[in-house]
Amino acid sequence: MSSPPSPLAGQAAFVTGAGQGLGAAIARGLAEAGARVVLADIDAGSAESAAADLRATGADCIAMELDVRNEPAFSRCFDAAVARFDAIDVLVNNAARTPFTSVWDITPEEWDDVLAVNLRGSFFGCRIAGRHMRGRGSGRIVNLASLAGQQPSAATGVHYAASKAALLALTRSFAQELAPHGVTVNALAPAAVRSPALDALNPAWQQALKAQIPLARFGQPEEVAAAVVYLASPAAAFMTGATLDLNGGRFMR
């Protein structure tokens, strides 16, 4: 029997918000593709337990406590990851807050915090990894955007939607900046993928959401992971500044 392909053999990846949900699945997908992986999360316990699950499969990975809102802390974690793995080839900016607060109820504090995690944290990630990758002349950055940043969605807050729309602009700007240095920066825009955030919606909402999906099902975290692995792999070397849609056909263009 032939072994599975390892397009990322010898590489190291850094995933934020990797303690649960899509981040944990992305870390697993990258490890299955041959990468060594850093699982960073504000929740140190969940990052450690996701990393322990991966180590049990033979993967070389470590967990780190990281609040992406804090640039010096992000830099220290990234430097420690570089020291551990010699270099970081792939950064996945996945950490996010997804509050479903109505437009009428969002407080200034909640607005600022959602933007701080989802947008500012990804900005810090692109800048920190960008400097490192620029110096090496290669690297891949994948930003987890969302359908909510492409068209209005009643299922997420307007602060979340605004942060994800801005993340597409951020992606294109860093792609432009880093292209001459051999670094690609792309966005992946999923929708309605099985995760703790989706499972937290009440059943009626979940049904209504599913009814809007032409493929008539929710996405699986492994499908998001496969798209991230593709964007990180040699096969995607000519793609930068792009937004890859993964939404069951809910948004076509």
CB 143 within 8 A of CB 188: yes
DSSP 149: G
CB closer to ligand NAD, 52 vs 181: 52
- The values of phi and psi at residue 97, to 5°, are -110, 135
- The string of DSSP codes covering 161-179 is HHHHHHHHHHHHHHHHHHG
CB 93 within 8 A of CB 41: no
Q: Among 23, 33, 14, 20, which residue's Cα sits nearest to residue 144?
A: 23
* 48 touches ligand NAD by CB under 6 A: no
Q: Among 161, 79, 64, which residue's Cα sits nearest to residue 118?
A: 161
* 30 touches ligand NAD by CB under 6 A: no
Structure tokens at 8: 């990322």
CB closer to ligand NAD, 9 vs 154: 154
Using the rule CB under 6 A, which residue among 15, 64, 141, 144 binds ligand NAD?
144
Question: Of 30-38, 130-138, 195-203, 234-242, which segment contacts ligand NAD by CB under 6 A?
Answer: 195-203
Which helix or strand (DSSP H or E) is residue 219 part of? none
Question: Of 3-11, 76-84, 90-98, 236-244, which segment contacts ligand NAD by CB under 6 A?
Answer: 90-98
**Catalytic center residues:** 160
CB closer to ligand NAD, 46 vs 171: 46
Helix (H, G, I), strand (E, B) or coil at 12: strand
Using the rule CB under 6 A, which residue among 68, 81, 128, 166 binds ligand NAD?
68
* 191 touches ligand NAD by CB under 6 A: yes
| Segments in the chain forming alpha helices (H) | 21-32, 44-55, 71-85, 108-115, 121-136, 158-178, 196-199, 203-211, 221-232
Using the rule CB under 6 A, which residue among 11, 37, 64, 69 binds ligand NAD?
69
Kindly state the smallest distance separating residue 2's Cβ from ligand NAD, in Å: 32
CB 13 within 8 A of CB 32: no
* 178 touches ligand NAD by CB under 6 A: no
* 206 touches ligand NAD by CB under 6 A: no
Question: Of 11-19, 51-59, 201-209, 233-241, which segment contacts ligand NAD by CB under 6 A?
Answer: 11-19
Kindly state the smallest distance separating residue 18's Cβ from ligand NAD, in Å: 7
Distance CA 45, CA 33 (A): 25
Q: Can you give the binding site for ligand NAD, defined by CB under 6 A?
A: 16-17, 19-23, 41-43, 46, 66-69, 94-98, 117, 121, 144, 146, 190-193, 195-198
